[in-house]
């Protein structure tokens, strides 16, 4: 460290944390840019990466250290980008930056450049991130349509069949047949709807709808394939827990990627799916009783 630069130990600890975060994020942005197909987005990511590296170099003047990226963190964020997309990962990174405006103001008392870095972090990088145009986010509507329909329809169907059939293998068989048929129906309906609305790529819209639908079908039917045939109550409870988990994860993804409120959307989707399941379970009991069917 330059002998002319004097900072307190507390400030040095904060700067070390900032330096580590900046060099790690530099590696993450570089990693993301290598896998992005869209040229405009690749350039934005590379530009942000350069800024993160510049910030890290600046902090190194005060710490006197040359830090390396945290490999595990780079790996985790790279993995998340494959599953949820790079826009989601970048916004998670931005939300996770644990240095407040007050802390930067405190740093500025000893480190004049801190104010400039804060402004760049808040204004320039955020503006660049808002310019990102990830392909999958253009089809969020199709994804929501497929997932919502699958959760509501299949949750109700499986809950009703659980008591009506009282056999996990029969419920799984019925659920898969219903789910696959519904997937094809939803995908084709989304294609026709997107085409009538002038969507430039109705096939991709239908694919996103179908993929999300079949994804939900597989996860919801899975408990009925895992548990023994007669333990339908355990399978039903597990299926409902999976429904809540899917809603939790997907709602969080949408809320982060599209900057939408999380709690309201989560409660809304959960209450609808679980209410339909409860109603269908009651219908299953009534149908079994009044028709006198015993399987």
Chain segment 16-71, per-residue pLDDT in tens? 888 898 899 899 989 988 888 778 888 888 888 898 899 899 888 888 888 999 99
Measured CA to CA, the distance from residue 254 to residue 43 in angstroms comes to 25
Q: For a pLDDT cut of 70, what percent of the chain falls above it?
A: 84
| Cα dist from 92 to 77, 85, 139, 254, 287, whole Å | 9, 11, 20, 12, 48
Q: What DSSP element (H or E) covers 208?
A: helix 202-226
Q: Which residues of the chain have pLDDT under 50?
A: 1-4
Chain segment 7-28, per-residue pLDDT in tens? 788 888 888 888 898 899 899 9
Contact 137, 38 (CB under 8 A): no
Close Cβ partners of 293 (under 8 Å, ≥ 6 residues apart): 164, 287
Contact 49, 29 (CB under 8 A): yes
| Cα dist from 115 to 55, 96, 109, 149, 246, whole Å | 12, 19, 10, 49, 41
Global pTM?
A: 0.68
Contact 207, 187 (CB under 8 A): yes
């Amino acid at each position: 460290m330059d002998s002319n630069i004097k900072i307190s130990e507390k400030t040095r600890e904060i700067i070390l944390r900032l330096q580590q975060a900046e060099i790690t994020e530099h590696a993450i942005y570089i990693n993301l840019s290598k896998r992005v197909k869209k040229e405009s987005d690749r350039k934005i990511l590379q530009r942000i990466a350069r800024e993160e590296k510049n910030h890290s170099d600046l902090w190194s003047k005060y710490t006197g250290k040359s830090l390396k990226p945290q490999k595990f963190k780079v790996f985790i964020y790279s993995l998340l980008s494959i599953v949820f997309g790079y826009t989601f990962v970048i916004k998670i990174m931005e939300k996770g930056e644990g240095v407040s405006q007050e802390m930067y103001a405190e740093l500025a008392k000893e480190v004049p450049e801190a104010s400039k870095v804060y402004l760049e972090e808040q204004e320039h990088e955020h503006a660049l991130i808002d310019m990102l145009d990830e392909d999958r986010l253009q089809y969020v509507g199709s994804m929501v349509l497929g997932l919502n329909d699958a959760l509501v329809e299949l949750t109700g169907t499986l809950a009703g069949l659980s008591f009506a059939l009282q056999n996990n293998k029969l419920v799984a068989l019925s659920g898969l047949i219903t789910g696959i048929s519904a997937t094809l129906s939803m995908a084709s309906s989304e294609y026709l709807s997107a085409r009538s609305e002038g969507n430039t790529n109705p096939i991709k819209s239908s694919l996103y709808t179908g993929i999300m639908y079949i994804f939900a079908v597989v996860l919801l039917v899975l408990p009925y394939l895992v548990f023994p045939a007669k333990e339908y109550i355990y399978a039903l409870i597990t299926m409902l827990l999976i429904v809540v988990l899917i809603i939790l994860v997907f709602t969080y993804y949408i809320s982060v990627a599209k900057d939408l409120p999380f709690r309201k959307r989560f409660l809304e989707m959960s209450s609808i799916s679980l209410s339909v399941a409860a109603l269908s379970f009651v219908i299953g009991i009534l149908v079994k009783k009044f028709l006198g069917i015993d399987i």
